[in-house]
């Protein structure tokens, strides 16, 4: 039986709301050693992703241009590529090969249910070989 993303995805995720202070988000990403995190609304719908790359922009601006921050929704990427939990592992691997992203949020009926990384897919491919 072919495994799917739902079988291997992480489900205990660090998430932010759009209203989260950007500096708080930066500290959480650094403390948890995360490259980024999903941004969800009060209903659990994915509205964006905030990455360390996004955070570098605000830290540079605040350190050198005296811009003092803002909310996560001012800096997050909101055109987010996602995968469905029923995506098979091979298709997921192909998505990663054809993308610069290191991880994809996983949605079910528009709601965030998990996240899958290159590491997760690579490990699954090795285990299934």
- How high is the pLDDT of residue 69? 75
Number of CB atoms found within 10 A of residue 82's CB: 17
CATH code reported for the domain at 5-128: 3.10.580.10
48-76, pLDDT tens digit by residue?
999 988 888 777 776 665 666 789 999 99
> pTM of the prediction?
0.85
- How high is the pLDDT of residue 63? 64
17-45, pLDDT tens digit by residue?
999 999 899 999 999 999 899 999 999 89
Beta-sheet strands, E only, within the chain: 36-40, 46-51, 83-84, 103-108, 111-117
Domain boundaries, the chain: 5-128
> Contact, 9 vs 120, CB < 8 A?
yes
The number of helices, as runs of H, and strands, as runs of E, in the chain is: 5, 5
87-106, pLDDT tens digit by residue?
999 999 999 999 988 899 99
């Amino acid at each position: 039986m072919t495994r799917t993303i739902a079988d291997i995805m992480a489900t205990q995720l660090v998430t932010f709301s759009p209203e989260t202070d950007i500096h708080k988000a930066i500290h959480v990403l650094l403390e948890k050693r995360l490259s980024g995190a999903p941004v969800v609304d009060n209903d659990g719908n994915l509205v964006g992703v905030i990455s360390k790359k996004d955070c570098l922009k605000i830290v540079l601006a605040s350190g050198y241009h005296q811009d003092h921050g803002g909310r996560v929704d001012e800096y997050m990427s909101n055109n987010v590529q996602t995968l469905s939990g029923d995506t098979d592992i091979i298709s997921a691997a192909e998505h990663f090969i054809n993308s610069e992203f290191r991880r994809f949020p996983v949605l079910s009926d528009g709601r965030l249910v998990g996240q899958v990384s290159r590491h997760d897919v690579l490990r699954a491919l090795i285990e299934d070989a």
